[in-house]
């Protein structure tokens, strides 16, 4: 479903990590999500962050992303680069760095 979408909108108020955001980025689908909780860690600079309490802002951003192919392409490219840091080998390498510091 992510890959068939023009944009993934995730206006959640709280999550533990935001797995659907990462899944959408893996599918190269632009993400619009909340500017709260852990979502900035999950999406990095690849998503468009909104106030989940503002329906007006959400509607404006959705319209902008849907209508602007350049923005969608930039979000897709940034998302693909960012989400690759969550590959198993990349995560394992980061954990090993922590062990080596100790």
Q: Which residues, in sequence order, are CB contacts of 85 under 8 Å at separation 6+?
A: 91
For domain 8-101, which architecture applies?
3-Layer(aba) Sandwich (3.40)
Q: What is the pLDDT of residue 95?
A: 86
pLDDT tens digits, one per residue of 57-72: 999 999 999 999 999 9
Q: Is 27 left (phi over 0), alpha (psi -120 to 50) or beta?
A: alpha
Q: What is the pLDDT of residue 87?
A: 83
Residues 89 and 12: their CA atoms lie apart, in Å, by 29
How big is the CA angle at 75 (ends 94 and 72), to the nearest 5 degrees?
Answer: 160
Residue range 31-52: average pLDDT?
Answer: 94
DSSP codes of every residue in 19-66 = HHHHHHHHTT--EEEESSTTHHHHHTTSSEEE-TT-HHHHHHHHHHHH
Q: What is the pLDDT of residue 94?
A: 80
Average pLDDT for the chain: 93
Q: What is the pLDDT of residue 100?
A: 87
Q: Is the pLDDT of residue 91 over 80?
A: no
Q: What is the pLDDT of residue 17?
A: 86
Q: What is the pLDDT of residue 21?
A: 95
Query: Structural domain boundaries of the chain?
Result: 8-101
């Amino acid at each position: 479903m992510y890959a068939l979408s023009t944009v993934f909108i995730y206006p959640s108020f709280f999550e533990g990590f935001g797995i659907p955001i990462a899944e959408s980025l893996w599918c190269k689908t632009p993400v619009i999500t909340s500017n709260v909780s852990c979502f900035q860690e999950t999406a990095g600079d690849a998503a468009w962050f909104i106030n989940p309490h503002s329906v007006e802002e959400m509607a404006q951003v959705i319209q902008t992303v849907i209508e602007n192919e350049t923005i969608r392409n930039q979000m897709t490219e940034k998302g693909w680069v960012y989400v690759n840091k969550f590959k198993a080998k990349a995560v394992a390498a980061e954990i090993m760095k922590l062990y080596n510091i100790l």
